[in-house]
Amino acid sequence: MKRARKVFSVFLCLALMLAQLVSAAYALGGDSIPAETGIIEESGGGEKSTSGGIEESSEVEPGEIKETDGTEGSDDGDKSHVEPGEAGDGDGPGEGGELEEEPSDSGEPGQTSEPVIPEEPDEVEIPITTFKDDFTVMQNVYTYVYTDHINWYLNDKNATEYQIDSARELFGLAELVNGTAKDDEDKPIKAVDFSGKRITLTDDIDLSEVCHQAMVGSGTDPGVEKVSWQPIGTIDTQFKGVFDGGGHAISGLYINSDKTHLGLFGYISDAKIRDLTVEGSVKYVGTAWNSYVSGIAAYVAGTCELEGLTSSVALDNPSNNTGGIAAYMSGTSKISRCINHGEIHSGDSYAGGILGRGNNSQAVISNCYVTADIKGKYSTGAIVGSFNTSATLRDCFYYNPGGGMTIANSGSPENCYYLSDTPVEGAKGVAKDADAFKYGEVAYLLNGRSAHRSNWVQGKDYPIFGDESTEPLYRISIAPHIRDSDIKFEFIDLGESLHPILEENGGKSLYVPKGTRISIKFSKGTPYFMPEGICIPDESQVGVYYIEVSEEDAVVTFGTEAELTQPTLSWYSKDEVTFFINFEPELRGLELLVNSDDPELKDNFIGKTVILGRNIELHGDWKPIGTGSDKPFKGTFDGNGHSISGLKIGSSAKDGAVEGDYQGFFGYTQGT
């Protein structure tokens, strides 16, 4: 029973019992009840009593009351129930809450029957402006009971699984974790960190009932003042459980506060938050140096997991540490498969679309993306603002037509991309144009290239997360062995869903699911292919070949028979850091890049890796890779268990040598 109703009912019953005893005592004594008692007075004459609101006349027999409210003669003779506070109609309690005397079975006056207990009153609307301490909610809500919003926990404190489905219950979670909840006796409940417990959201929630902007009233409507959400967890009372959003959304998050650690969650440690979307706005209006502002979790400590989260929360913070998913992270936490669509405006340092700052952290951020504007003065990045070198950032992208920017202000992002037609000066990550994002190239790269993972699938304009049913993308690449080949080609009959991506080497690539068949038309000569057997002649069309994707990428170079003996750079791009070499002309292309005198072409491969994709047999003299201290190889060459045969080094090894005759597959290397 709700507290307001319970208290009222108990009070009413006590009043009725007292009235019965008083009435019985006076009846047995043969005296009338004095008017000053507030109970109906039996005058026995023609005077009217005004104490009980019921009219009596001299014709009334002893022990009876004459009805004067218009009900006399009605079909319903039972008038025993009267709403609290109303006057009786002659057969029920009067204004003072007393019961009338009724004739006994013997007909003797002064005898009373058992009291009539009134029904519980209906719950009434009571204007409430205070919801636990200084937390204001909208006007005219139903009677508030202290434990209604936390009964899901109080009903079984030892449970390990809980479900919540309303804004009030989510606010109750914040109170329980923060140590501000009270029991049904209005006594404080010790803070609950929910360690070892799981809380599952079973429905979408609109928080506007418990947090909102100020609303200006009109006429008799006074409006409401602004009310900020109270984040779940503080520096002293941290959330340590599992919060499973169940794929649901929380909308209407509103914070406008001078307190620090702002977000849906304020402080979490060794916790898990997953499968949740949050929409709203958070604004810090204080003056603290470190404020910690986020859409999901402001401060993340220990070993936490944030997975499958989407923030569409606009963040405004004049101070430090602002992040779409987490503002600050320490320890060994992980963030994966998270998205931020909320704009971030930071007036100072450490702002990032996913994470503001990772400090003293061995955290891992992977498979995340950001589409919103990210603005800050210092240490600002599309994915991470600041990251120490022991942390890992990989397989992420930033897609914002408003302009590209660095993936992270510090650290070394791996396999990360940002939207831009040209590289942004000093930016970490690889620039890719809109076609690369829209037609599968970036999705293919994020999935590990030929590893063909299914973490990502192609969306409308950019990659989106895949699932267990996702088919990986495969690359079909056709490139001339030399850029100015006499033979020309084009893809035909592609349809609207496929669009070739132009490569730096003059080739074109398509990114398609397994089983796709692609036709290519060659002109101005008969092509020779390397490797053979991938491009199959189409007997029905002259000069047309087709490729059908099975379990591997289809990467083919073509040219005249004479062209195929020359070194090729069809495998190389300045923007990439990992390369696969499968054929002798490609291996000779590596030697050409390292030993080149052309500054536009020369590359010592520092920080890059070259992986051998198959066994290669060399033909003719070999010129060592790296000829001296001015032309060293500084990268990583991974033979991947394969072999290179036919190595022969003649007088050509001395060409260009400046510090002696360096002979071998590699002539001169440098690095750690």
- Give the largest CA-CA distance in the chain: 143
Q: How far is CA 178 from the centre of its chain?
A: 22
pLDDT at 324 over 50: yes
Question: For residue 26, which amino acid is it?
Answer: Y
List the one residue out of 596, 587, 593, 656 whose CA is nearest residue 622: 587
Higher-confidence residue of 257 and 672: namely 257
Higher-confidence residue of 118 and 394: namely 394
Region 543-564: mean pLDDT is 91
Query: The tokens of 88 are what?
Result: 């009786």
DSSP string across 610-656 = EEE-S-EE--S----B--BTTB-B-SEEE-TT--EE-----GGGGTT
Specify the pLDDT at position 219: 64
> Which segment of 102-116, 160-174, 327-341 scores lowest on mean pLDDT?
102-116
Q: Is 508 helix (H, G, I), strand (E, B) or coil?
A: strand
Region 396-406: mean pLDDT is 94
CATH match of 216-432 with 2.160.20.110: yes
- Confidence class for position 123, pLDDT limits 50, 70, 90: very low
Q: Identify whether the C-beta of residue 380 lies closer than 8 Å to the C-beta of residue 407.
A: no
Q: Taking the CB of residue 469, how many other CB atoms lie within 10 A of it? A: 7
Distance CA 616, CA 612 (A): 9
Question: For residue 172, which amino acid is it?
Answer: G
Q: Taking the CB of residue 583, how many other CB atoms lie within 10 A of it? A: 21
Specify the pLDDT at position 339: 98
Higher-confidence residue of 584 and 58: namely 584
> Which segment of 195-209, 263-277, 364-378, 573-587 scores lowest on mean pLDDT?
573-587
- Confidence class for position 112, pLDDT limits 50, 70, 90: very low
Specify the pLDDT at position 52: 41
**For 613-662, what is each residue's pLDDT tens digit?**
889 988 888 999 998 889 999 999 999 999 999 998 875 444 544 445 78
- Confidence class for position 499, pLDDT limits 50, 70, 90: very high
Task: Tell me the Ramachandran region of residue 440: left when phi exceeds 0, alpha when psi lies from -120 to 50, beta otherwise.
Answer: left
Distance CA 173, CA 200 (A): 12
- Geometric angle at alpha carbon 503, from 501 and 505, rounded to 5°: 155
Q: Which residues of 202-214 are buried (b: 16+ CB within 10 A; e: fewer)?
A: eeebebbbbbbee
Instruction: Give backbone dihedrals phi and psi of 180, rounded to 5 degrees, phi first.
Output: -110, 0
List the one residue out of 337, 600, 601 whose CA is nearest residue 467: 337
Region 338-352: mean pLDDT is 97
Specify the pLDDT at position 487: 94
pLDDT at 295 over 70: yes
Query: The tokens of 384 are what?
Result: 């991470």
Q: How far is CA 10 from the centre of its chain?
A: 48
**For 409-437, what is each residue's pLDDT tens digit?**
888 899 999 999 999 999 999 999 999 99
List the one residue out of 139, 317, 345, 309 whose CA is nearest residue 222: 139
Mean pLDDT (the chain) is 81
List the one residue out of 210, 259, 209 whose CA is nearest residue 234: 259
**For 573-620, what is each residue's pLDDT tens digit?**
887 889 999 888 889 999 999 999 999 899 999 999 999 988 998 888
Whole-number percent of the chain with pLDDT over 90: 58
Region 172-177: mean pLDDT is 96
**For 32-48, what is each residue's pLDDT tens digit?**
444 444 433 444 444 44
Instruction: Give backbone dihedrals phi and psi of 604, rounded to 5 degrees, phi first.
Output: -90, 0
* Distant-in-sequence, close-in-space partners of 141: CB < 8 Å, separation ≥ 6: 125, 128
Whole-number percent of the chain with pLDDT over 70: 75
**For 132-169, what is each residue's pLDDT tens digit?**
333 434 333 323 356 789 999 999 999 999 999 999 99
Specify the pLDDT at position 84: 37
List the one residue out of 390, 443, 432 whose CA is nearest residue 407: 432
Region 384-394: mean pLDDT is 89
Q: Taking the CB of residue 416, how many other CB atoms lie within 10 A of it? A: 27
List the one residue out of 311, 310, 309, 307 whose CA is nearest residue 295: 311
Question: For residue 83, which amino acid is it?
Answer: E
pLDDT at 25 over 60: no
HEC secondary structure over 279-345: EEEEEECCCCCEEEEECCEEEEECCCEEEEEEEEEEEEECCEEEECCEEEEEECCEEECCEECCCEE
546 bridge partner residues: 519, 536
- Confidence class for position 212, pLDDT limits 50, 70, 90: confident
Specify the pLDDT at position 139: 35
Query: The tokens of 30 are what?
Result: 């043969």
Separation of first and last alpha carbons in the chain: 75
- Confidence class for position 22, pLDDT limits 50, 70, 90: low
Task: Enumerate the domain spans of the chain.
Answer: 1-124, 216-432, 473-565, 578-654
Q: What is the CA radius of gyration of the chain?
A: 40
Per-residue DSSP letter, 35: G
Specify the pLDDT at position 17: 60
Q: Is 540 helix (H, G, I), strand (E, B) or coil?
A: coil
Instruction: Give backbone dihedrals phi and psi of 12, rounded to 5 degrees, phi first.
Output: -65, -45
Question: 644: buried, middle or exposed (CB in 10 Å: 19+, 13-18, 0-12)?
Answer: middle
473 bridge partner residues: 513
Higher-confidence residue of 652 and 477: namely 477
Per-residue DSSP letter, 470: P
Beta strands in 412-466 (DSSP E): 417-419, 430-432, 456-458, 463-465
Distance CA 575, CA 433 (A): 12
Q: Taking the CB of residue 600, how many other CB atoms lie within 10 A of it? A: 6
Per-residue DSSP letter, 657: -
Specify the pLDDT at position 24: 54
Specify the pLDDT at position 49: 40
